[in-house]
Structures are given as structure tokens and as C-alpha cells.
Amino acid sequence: MLGGGEGTAAGAPQQLEWKFSQVFGERAAGEEVQEVDIISAIEFDRTGNHLATGDRGGRVVLFERIDTKDHGGNRMDLERMDCSINRHPEFRYKTEFQSHEPEFDYLKSLEIEEKINKIRWCQTANGALFLLSTNDKTIKFWKVQEKKVKKVCDLNGDLSGAIGNGPVVCSSTSTSSKPCMENGGCNGNPFSYSSNNTSLPAGGIPSLRLPVVGNSNETSLAAKCRRIYAHAHDYHINSISNNSDGETFISADDLRINLWNLEISNQSFNIVDVKPANMEDLTEVITSAEFHPTQCNMLAYSSSRGSIRLIDMRQSALCDTHSKLFEEQEVPGTRSFFTEIIASISDIKFAKDGRYILSRDYMTLKLWDVNMDSGPVATFQVHEYLRPKLCDLYENDSIFDKFECCLSGDGIRVATGSYSNMFRVFGCSGGSTEATTLEASKSPMRRQVQTPSRPSKSLGTLPRVLRRGGADASGVDANGSSFDFTTKLLHLAWHPTENSLACAASNSLYMYYA
């Protein structure tokens, strides 16, 4: 990903040109967005053929890719049909289900929101999709599978066919003179319920017509909650992450990380606990946690003080010591009231091969090499023009917004969100100066910031800090456009194998390709 080959300046990848693909839930001009419809989580599965979103109303919505299905067949057939193989990815709505409901903790007098904090896909089996979803307190394991629809057909026959069933043999010799109807009923009461005589009429009931349930060619998707993992966190869950062994996963809150087995919902193991004996001594909290993509014994978690700890579960049952600590040394003379606040890491992601860790704090993206804990190998300024506005951001609580980050499948680009529904894409291979600003709209490139001629610092051939220009305190971004703190792009995901991005802007899901 960094250095060597395409890591040289001459061999740096070309800057991508992003194009609009599609949008789901587009808001009309002047339309008011309901709070429950705002997207709060987004995740591709490992194949990239399915996409899941969660919202503040506790719903999970699934999308499936359809452009690969429409163009099946071998290359020769496609060329004969004169179809383009390199079509942009296209998704369609698949299904949705209510994952969480609002709850109330009576012991703590605390309302528990239904908002989906995280979604993680699990391994598929027998054509069924499996995924984990969590709100602040409860994790659920869902199975989504197609089932054949059973329909009620016509009744099971007419009078002419009813004789084939034969009469009902009865040992009673009593008879009834009352006429019987075609459906088996009788005019009057042939059975004397007022007495002890409960016998059937002689010869039985001529015809009993029942509805017949049969299979149809139609199928429907059914979501079923297989397991509920609850009562293991005293604080709000901020992360869940699947293990590469396919059997376990972790969940993290502010002070603890628990290890679960997918098959066991009534117990978990506490593997990280940063809660001090005296809460007054608390100096940092856990903000994000993620398993290593290939090594099932390794995981990383970030803190509110801007550090990342890599731990090995083979060392001890309670991983109270870390294998490696990644943090950037503070530059002397730069400390201010906001230093610790903006240093808090809101999200971390491993690269696909596990060699690099991407972290997002309030102002920057940082790329870390797991083999080098002296500092990040690259730092990208996301919205440096907001630095003069930190007082305003603190007053309106925007400084506490938690932006997510993601890496491309090949590991040579990273992306994260910003305000005014903007998101940034950076090239992180050595020598790359790619820094694209896009807007979550049907014209993503209309507010693009010009790429600077050179980075401000470098480490060998690696871009150490890529500064993208500043702005004054007049409420404009680096491109001269006004920014809006109320519209923020917090959640986005990169397709695992292609240059395709899915972004959540309020209640709308935008998709782009390059």
C-alpha cells in the first residue's frame, strides 16, 4: 500500500474521477426529515453484493447488487451482446426489518434509544444472510432468508368429489330428519347438545370442504432474530467487530470490551477493562475497537486521548497490558483548551491485509503502520479551515461529532466525512497528492477543492502531512463555499473490491463510483 512500486512519486495512482451512481431516500426540496429516518450505520458485506444501513428508528434496511446478475454469462457472450462489462455497481432495495425498539431501564431510570449504532455482517450459510446489529445496550444476531410463500388455494373439492372421502362410520343408530347443506352444515341442530346424545347423523356428514394451503412460485424475505446478547454493558456500546475465526465477536463500551461467542448469548468474557478503582481518576475512555482482519488473537482499540492500543489475547485472559501503543507526540507550544477534545479518536479501521490502521480524530485522518509505533506514516487534514471556529464548534457541541473513516479494498485510498454533507478522499500511497472533496448530491464534484502542488512534510517517500489549505473565520471552507454545521456526513463505507462509496447524508443513501 505504501512505499515501493506504486508507492513512488512516478508510479503514484492517478486521481479518481468520482461519478454519481444512485440515491435511496432522496429528500425533496423543503421536505422535513423525521428524526427516526436519519441513517446511523452503514456497512458492506465482504463480497460487496449486499449493503446494510441502520437508522435512528431502530430499523435495518438491506440492499442487494443487481448489475452483476443482469450481466451473467461468459465474456464472449457479453461481447456478442455488445454489453459493457465495466458497468457501475447498481443496488436495489431488498428488505427491511425492525431490529430494536425503545426500552426503559427501570433500575437506572434510563431511556434506551432504539438507534442502531453499528452493523456487522457475518458469514453466510445455506443461502441465508447473517448480521449483527446493536443499539446502546443490546446486540442482536439476525438471519435473513428467502422462504416460499404458501397461499390458500380453493376449497378441497365439491360435492361430487366429497363422496370419495367415504361416509363417517358411526356406531350410533340415531337418525336425523333435518336436511343437510352442501358444506356439511345442517338446517337446524342435528346434534342434541342439550342432552347426552353427541352422535353424528347416520351415514356421516356428506361433505366437509376445507381450504387447501399450497406452495407457490413466489418467495419472500423473512428476518428472524436468532440470538440476543444483553445485560453485559453498563455504558453505551460504541463498537462491535467480528473475528476472523467466524465464531466470536467483540463489543466495546466506554470502559470495557467483551468477547462473545456467536452461539452463546447468556455469557461473555471481559477482556479489556479500563475502569479505575476511583472514577475520579478516569483520564480516558474507549471510543472504538476492531479485530485484526486475519489474526484472530489480535485486536485494536482507540481512546479519547488520541492513542491506539494493539493487544494480543494470548498474553492473558484480561488484556490489561497492550502489545503496542500508537500515539503522536504533542508538538511543544501548540497545546490549547481544545487539544484533548479534538485529539479524541472517533473511529479506527484495519486495512484489508492488517498491516495498517486508519484512525479519525476531529480534524485529521491518520494512517499507522502496525510495525512502527513512533508515529503515523501519513496524516491528512480533513477540514483545517475549521480550526479558527473551534470555539463556535464547542458552543454548539459539533466538536463532539463522531466521524467514521474507511479504506479502499486495495488500501491505496482513504475516505471520511465532513460538514455541509461533504466527504474527502485521499491517496495514501507514497508520492500521491490526491485529495478530493465531494458533496453528497447528484453532482459530487461541483465543490471540489483543488489539489495542492506538494505536501508540507514527508517521511522518505511517504506523505507525512498533506495540508489542503486553510480559510479565515468568515464561515467558508477551503473552496470559498459556506459550510453548514447542521448537515454532516458521519457515516460512509467503501466497497471491499471496487472503487465505490456509499455515504449517508441525513436520511438519504448516496452511492458513487470511479
Between 279 and 5, the more confident residue is: 279
Q: What pLDDT shows up at residue 13?
A: 78
Residue 6 confidence (pLDDT): 42
Q: What's the DSSP call for residue 352?
A: T
pLDDT confidence bin for 488, thresholds 50/70/90: very high
Q: In 3D, which of 359, 344, 365, 349 has the Cα closest to residue 418? A: 365
Q: 159-212, pLDDT tens digit by residue? A: 454 444 444 444 444 444 445 444 444 455 544 444 455 566 666 666 677 787
Burial 323-351, CB ≥16 within 10 A → b, else e: ebebbbeeeeeeeeebeebbbbbbbbbbb
- 114: confidence class by pLDDT, cuts 50, 70, 90: very high
Q: Is pLDDT of 80 > 70?
A: no
Output the pLDDT for position 11: 62
**Over the range 57-74, which residues count as b (16 or more CB within 10 Å of their CB) and which as e?**
bbbbbbbbbeeeeeeeee
Q: How far apart are CA 378 and CA 328, in angstroms?
A: 11
Q: In what order do the strands lie in the sheet with 462-466?
A: 347-350, 356-360, 364-369, 378-381, 462-466, 457-459
pTM over 0.95: no
Tell me what pLDDT residue 68 has: 76
Q: Is the pLDDT of residue 46 over 80?
A: yes
Structure confidence at residue 105 (pLDDT): 86
- CA 54 to chain CA centroid, nearest Å: 7
- Find cell 465464531 and name the residue: 247
pLDDT tens digits along 438-479: 999 998 876 554 444 333 333 333 333 333 333 333 355 555
Interatomic CA distance for residues 359 and 308, integer angstroms: 9
pLDDT on residue 473: 33
pLDDT at position 163, please? 46
pLDDT (0 to 100) of residue 86: 56
312-348: pLDDT as tens digits: 999 888 888 899 999 998 888 778 899 999 999 999 9
Read off the pLDDT of residues 411-420 as tens digits, 9 standing for 90 and up: 999 999 999 9
Residues with Cβ within 8 Å of residue 5, at least 6 apart in sequence: 11
* Interval 243-299: pLDDT, tens: 999 999 999 999 999 999 999 999 999 999 999 999 999 999 999 999 999 999 999
Q: What whole-number distance in Å separates Cα of residue 319 and Cα of residue 257?
A: 10
Per-chain mean pLDDT for the chain = 83
* Cβ atoms of residues 345 and 361 within 8 Å: yes
Write down the residue that cell numbers 453528497 correspond to.
440
Q: What is the pLDDT of residue 183?
A: 47
pLDDT band at 213 (very low <50, low <70, confident <90, very high): confident
Amino acid at 387: R
**Which residue in this structure is represented by grid cell 367415504?**
166
